[in-house]
């Protein structure tokens, strides 16, 4: 593959696959989809060949298989990386192996001025090494720093320390940090100004995360939807909803505790990948199994079904306290009329006046639930219209992909 004149090659590293159940995976899918007919950008996407969240290209219709480890989707060249099952270290191994493959591809195909866009700050100790190699090809290293990975309680103290050091090194050895949150961009300058290469300040820009505003293709009486409702014992507009990873920093304990305290006659449906250890801890603390309103309903991978479940919820809870612009929040604002968010900078930045806010103090959210239960249909519809207008103006994939095109091509 000799380089065509005027084509910018962009290597995307850090997502496990295209279009799976995660922020980066959705981002890579949408970016390549929106840019598939662009003649001046060629994407090369690293994917996981095996293990958790790995790529299964057979699920997509318009795939061209090149060999057992390479394929084309949306005109993007995708390559799969085999990852040994070595626990938490496999994420680091995956990024390093993917970057090594990118560098080999750049060298072999004489690609000039490549951009290598790394998502998340996992490989700090290797940042300087790859930065130097990519610069030898007259390339640039771009970084998406994600959220505050070092604050996540799922990691042990030594791993959290590693994340923080890794973040610092990756910010130092990148040409541009693309932040999907104004708060993250501000944090990077507060922490790292004067600590880049030769003591320079890190270059940053802000590009948000996108959301799909189209309504679900499911009809109200779709049999798959009706059957899901029957199985989970839920009714349209008669349940509160949360969708997200089952980890402590997403406020599951607060949301369940407060819902149990509320007088609501509605159900609380929790769509998540249950972690038994955390679930048992919560049961011991809260005894939520005795409250028939609290319903863990498993995961929903059918995106159209999930969208319809969001649209039909009475209200949506968002309890994420760590990270930048959260995809599930934007999706909720785009599809659920009434959104109740934990009061942190990231969430306020995204939703502004289009949602109601709660804090983690005892009784605060329960009081809000009781108040929200009394809201009129008219009030709820007005909130929904405001939220959808906000998403339509700031968070469409069309706008976000256009901003990425400017950054990659300018």
Neighbouring CB atoms inside 10 A of 192's CB total: 18
- Separation CA 306–CA 188 (nearest Å): 34
Report pLDDT digits (tens) over 51-103. Answer: 888 898 888 888 999 999 999 999 999 999 999 988 878 889 999 999 999 99
Chain centroid to CA 62: 24
Cβ distance 213 to 388 under 8 Å?
Answer: yes
Over 60: is that where the pLDDT of 1 sits? no
Exposure string of 45-82, with b = 16+ CB inside 10 Å and e = fewer, is bbbbeeeeebbebeeeeeeeeeeeeebbbbbbbbbbbe
- The C-alpha atoms of residue 392 and residue 397 are separated, in whole angstroms, by 9
- Rounded Cα distance, 291 and 260, in Å: 7
From residue 359, alpha-carbon distances to 33, 210, 278, 318, 352 in Å are 38, 26, 22, 11, 16
Whether residue 384 contacts residue 338, with contact meaning beta carbons closer than 8 Å, is answered with: yes
* 294-296 and 315-318 beta bridge pairing: unpaired
Structure tokens at 54: 């790995």
- Give the C-alpha separation, 295 to 316, whole Å: 14
CA distance 185 to 178: 8
Cα–Cα dist 84/99, whole Å:
16
With contact defined as beta carbons under 8 Å apart, do 253 and 282 qualify? yes
Distance (Å) of CA 139 to CA 10, 136, 172, 346: 10, 7, 16, 32
Q: Give the predicted TM-score (pTM) of the model.
A: 0.80
How far apart (Å, rounded) are the C-alpha atoms in residues 340 and 356?
5
pLDDT given for residue 273 in this prediction: 84
Tell me the percentage of the chain whose pLDDT exceeds 70: 95
Measured between its terminal Cα atoms, the distance across the chain in Å is: 23
Question: How many angstroms separate the CA atoms of 108 and 138, rounded?
Answer: 15
CA distance 390 to 353: 9
pLDDT score recorded for residue 194: 82
Q: What is the mean pLDDT of the chain?
A: 91
State the DSSP code for 75.
T
State pLDDT tens for residues 317-335: 999 887 666 778 898 999 9
The whole-number pLDDT of residue 228 equals 98
| Count of CB atoms situated within 10 Å of the CB of 224 | 12
Tens of pLDDT, residue by residue over 131-146, are 999 999 999 999 999 7
Contacts of 17 (CB under 8 A, 6+ apart): 25, 47, 48, 53, 54, 55, 56
Percent of the chain at pLDDT exceeding 90: 71
Return the HEC string of 265-325.
CCEEEEECCCCHHHHHHHHHHHCHHHCCCEEECCCCCCHHHHHHHHHCCCEEEECCCCCCC
Mean pLDDT in residue range 182-194 = 88
| Gap between the Cα atoms of 154 and 56, Å rounded | 27
pLDDT at 47 over 80: yes
Domains and CATH numbers, the chain: 8-210+397-409 (3.40.50.2000), 223-394 (3.40.50.2000)
pLDDT in tens, 390-407: 999 999 999 999 999 999
CA dihedral 54, 60, 63, 67 (to 10 degrees): 30
Q: What is the CA radius of gyration of the chain?
A: 22
CA 348 to chain centre: 17
Q: How confident is the model at residue 252 (pLDDT cuts 50, 70, 90)?
A: very high
Question: Cβ distance 77 to 67 under 8 Å?
Answer: no
Average pLDDT over residues 225-249: 94
Query: How confident is residue 253, by pLDDT bands cut at 50, 70 and 90?
Result: very high
């Amino acid at each position: 593959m000799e380089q065509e004149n005027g084509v910018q090659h962009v290597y995307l590293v850090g997502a496990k696959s295209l279009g799976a159940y995660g922020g980066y995976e959705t981002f890579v899918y949408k970016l390549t989809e929106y840019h598939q007919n662009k003649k001046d950008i060629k994407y090369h996407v690293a994917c996981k060949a095996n293990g958790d969240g790995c790529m299964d290209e057979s699920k997509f219709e318009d795939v061209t298989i090149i060999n057992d480890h390479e394929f084309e989707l949306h005109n993007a060249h995708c390559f799969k990386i085999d990852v040994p099952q070595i626990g938490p270290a496999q994420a680091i191994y995956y990024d390093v192996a993917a970057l090594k493959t990118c560098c080999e591809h750049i060298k072999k195909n004489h690609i000039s001025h490549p951009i290598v866009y790394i998502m998340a700050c996992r490989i700090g100790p290797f940042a300087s090494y790859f930065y130097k190699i990519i610069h030898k090809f007259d390339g640039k290293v771009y970084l998406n720093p994600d959220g505050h990975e070092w604050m996540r309680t799922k990691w042990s103290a030594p791993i959290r320390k590693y994340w923080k050091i890794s973040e610092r090194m990756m910010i130092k050895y990148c040409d541009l940090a693309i932040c999907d949150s104004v708060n993250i961009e501000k944090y990077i300058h507060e922490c790292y100004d004067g600590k880049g290469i030769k003591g320079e300040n890190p270059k940053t820009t802000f590009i948000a995360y996108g959301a799909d505003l189209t309504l679900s293709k499911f009809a109200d009486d779709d049999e798959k939807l009706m059957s899901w409702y029957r199985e989970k014992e839920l009714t349209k507009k008669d349940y509160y909803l949360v969708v997200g990873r089952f980890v402590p920093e997403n406020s599951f304990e607060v949301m369940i505790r407060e819902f149990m305290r509320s007088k609501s006659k509605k159900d609380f449906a929790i769509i998540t990948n249950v972690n038994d250890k955390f679930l048992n801890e919560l049961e011991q603390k809260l005894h939520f199994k005795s409250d028939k309103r609290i319903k863990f309903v498993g995961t929903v991978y059918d995106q159209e079904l999930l969208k319809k479940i969001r649209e039909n919820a009475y209200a949506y809870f968002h309890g994420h306290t760590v990270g930048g612009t959260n995809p599930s929040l934007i999706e909720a604002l785009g599809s659920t009329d009434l959104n109740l968010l934990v009061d942190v900078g990231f969430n306020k930045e995204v939703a502004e006046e289009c949602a109601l806010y709660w804090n983690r103090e005892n009784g605060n959210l329960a009081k809000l639930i009781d108040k929200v239960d009394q809201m009129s249909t008219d009030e709820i519809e007005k909130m929904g219209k405001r939220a959808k207008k906000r998403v339509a103006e700031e968070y469409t994939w069309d706008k976000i992909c256009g901003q990425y095109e400017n950054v990659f091509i300018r």
